[in-house]
Chains A and B, each alone.
Chain A
C-alpha cells in the first residue's frame, strides 16, 4: 500500500490489519513506551489547506510517537485553493524530501490529484478532501466500535450502525459507509431527504427519514456535524426543526438499546445535532474516539512508511 486516499483502496483484510496494528500500538503507548523509533529519519508533512486543529494534532502526535520528523504546512484558503499552488506546493515538498504528505483540503479529490500527479513521489494520506472521504476517521470509528462492541471477532459482523445528519456533504459518512459495511456491519443512514445525495441507492446502506424508528434497533448512533450555513441553501427550514427531527437528545437516547454507544467525529454543535447531556453521557465515546485516533493514525503511518520501497505494492 502506497497511499491512503479512500476506504475503497483497502480490502477487508488490509482494513482489519490496520485495526489490529492500531490495537498493538495502543497497547504499547498505553504502557511505559511513549516514543517508538520506528520512523526515525522519515519526514512527514501535514499539509492543511483547511482548518482542522484536531485532525492535524492527531496526525502530528501519531508521527511524533513513531519518531518521524513532522513539518506542519498550514495554508488556509486562498494561496492553496488555486491549483497551480497545489502543484507548486507539492513540488516544494518533493524538493524537501517529504516521505509522506498528510493532506486536508477543501476540494474533493485533492489527495488523489496529489497522489496521481508526478509532482511528488511520497506517500499521500487523505486527511479529509472536500465532501469526498476521510478514511482515517472511519478507521478510528471502526476501531472504537470494535473495541466496545466487537464480539471477539476481528470485524463488525452482526452490528447495526446509524449515521445521522448531513450525509450529502459528509466525507466522514462516505468513508464510514464503505468501511463499516465492508467489515460486516449493517449501516442505516438517517437524514432529511435534502441532505442525502442523488444516487445514494447505490451505496451499501439503507436509508431512513425517521430517526425515531431507527434508534431502538442500532448498536451505534453516529451523529454528524450539521453546518449552520446549510440553512441558507434551503436544506432545512431552521435549526429548531432540524433538531426536533434529527437531533439526539436525552429522550431519544433513552430509547437506545442496552449497551449502545453514541459517537461524533467532532467538532460538535451542542444543542443542534446533539444535546450536551447526550454528549457527556456514559453512552458517549466521543473523547475516546479522539484517543483512538492517535493509535489508528500511527498504524496508518506504520503501514505506509515502515516498509521498504522495493516491496511496495506487493500482495
Chain B
C-alpha cells in the first residue's frame, strides 16, 4: 500500500473523540485509532481540533476593480491562513458581478489561485442600483453556477424588486442574501445611533433601519415561498424577528460576523475609522443577543464580511473613511473567544456554524462534509490552546484594516487542507496554487 499523503496523529474531532486522520488522493483515506500505514507527512495533532474546512458566505475579494485592496489570490491566501476552504465573493466589484462574464472571471481566478474554492455571488440588480434585475438566470447557468444573489453594500430597498427577485430564483433553488439597511433612514449615517453617537456628534444609524427591512423581507419570503438569507445581523431586535419568522416556518437563514460578536459602538470614541463598518458596531446588549442567537441556532452561521480597504481609505477622518474591516484571518479565533471559551458553543456547533451550514445554504456540495472516511479532504486543524497576537503589518491580505491589531486572541489555525492538499502547514502558507 502506498503511503498516505498526510497523517494527522491523535487529533480531536469536533465531538472530542481522538483519531488519526490519513489523507490521500484528495479524500480522507481513513479515520481510525492507531493508523498503522506509512505517511509522507506526519502531523502531531495532540493539542489540536480538526474541523471541516471553513466556508465563508460573505467575502469581499475586490477583484475585478480594486486589486490594490485585495485580489482573488491574496484573499484566497488570507482565507487559507484563516482555515477556510471556500469563500463567497460578493458582487460589489467593478464592474459589478451582474453578468455571467464577471462571475465566470471571478470563479476562474479562484480556480487558478487554487487555494480554496471561490464561489461568486451574483448581483440581484443591475449595477447594484436596486432597479432592474440582473441576468440572474445566466449567472446561475454559467460555469460559476451561482446560487446566491446579493446587492450587498446596498439594500434591495424597493419591495417590488425584492419580491420579484425572491420569486425568480425559485426556478433553480437560489437564495437572496439581503443587506438589510433602509437607505432613507441611513443617509450619511456613521455609526450606531445611541448614547455614543450623541456624544461623538456622528450621524446615527438606527437599529430600526435594519430591523424594518428584515421584517418586511421575511414577510415577503413567506408570501412567495422563497429562500431568504439575512446578511450580517447586528441587533437584538433583528434576532427577535428572525426567531419569530423561523417559528412560523418561513425559509429564512441569518448570519452574524465575528466582529459583531465582540466589538461595540463605544470603540468609535477614538474616531479611528478602523472601527467603521457597515452595518455598524452596536451595543453590549446587542452583542449578547447575537451570541445567544448564534448558540441557539436562531442565527445559522458566522460569515466574515471580510472587507479589505487600502490604507488611505482608513487613514483619515471618520466620516471620510470607507466602511469595513478584515475578517478572514481572525474569524475562528474570535468565534473561539466569544462562543467557545465562554461556554456558549462546543466545537460541533462551531463546525456547523462555520462550515456545514454555510455550505448547505450556499449549495457548496464538496464542502461542509462530515469528517469521515471517504469525504473530500477539505479540513482545518486548529490549536485552541495556543494564543497569538494580531499584527496588522503581518496579515496575509493585501490590506491591513484589522480592528484587532495588538489583540491577543486564542486559537491558532495550524493546518488547512483543500481537496487533500495542504494550503497551510504549521501556520505557514504552502507554495501551491498561483504562487
Contact = CB atoms under 8 A, between A and B. Distances in A.
Q: A and B touching (C-beta < 8 Å)? A: yes
Interface of A: 81-84, 86-87, 105, 107-110, 112-113, 116-117, 129-133, 171, 174, 197-200, 202-203
Contacts of B204: 197-199
A116 B272 contact: yes
With most chain A CB atoms within 10 A of its CB, the pick from B206, B271, B317 is B317
Contact of A171 (B190, B197, B201): B201
A198 B317 contact: no
B201 A108 contact: yes
B314 to A, nearest CB: 8
Contacts of A107: 317-320
B196 interface: yes
Contacts of B320: 81-83, 107
Contacts of A132: 200-202
6 contacts: A83-B321, A107-B319, A113-B317, A132-B200, A197-B198, A202-B198
Interface string B171-200: 000000000000000000010011111111
Nearest to B312: A84
A129 to B, nearest CB: 8
Contacts of A131: 201-203
A83 B197 contact: no
Contacts of A108: 190, 200-202, 271, 318-319
Interface of B: 190, 193-204, 206, 270-272, 312-313, 315-321
B206 A110 contact: no
A304 B195 CA distance: 30
Contacts of B194: 198-199
Contacts of B312: 83-84
B316 A130 contact: no
Contact of B195 (A83, A86, A110, A199): A199
Given A116-B272, A198-B193, A199-B194, A109 B317 contact: yes
Contacts of A198: 193-194, 197-198, 204, 206
B345 to A, nearest CB: 32
Contacts of B206: 198
Nearest to A171: B201
Nearest to A129: B201
The 4 A-B pairs at the shortest CB distance, nearest first, are namely A83-B316, A109-B271, A132-B201, A199-B198
Given A87-B315, A113-B272, A197-B197, 8 more contacts: A108-B190, A108-B202, A108-B271, A112-B271, A197-B204, A198-B204, A203-B198, A203-B199
Given A108-B271, A112-B271, A83 B317 contact: yes
A81 B321 CA distance: 11
Contacts of B271: 108-109, 112-113, 116
B197 to A, nearest CB: 6
A47 to B, nearest CB: 13
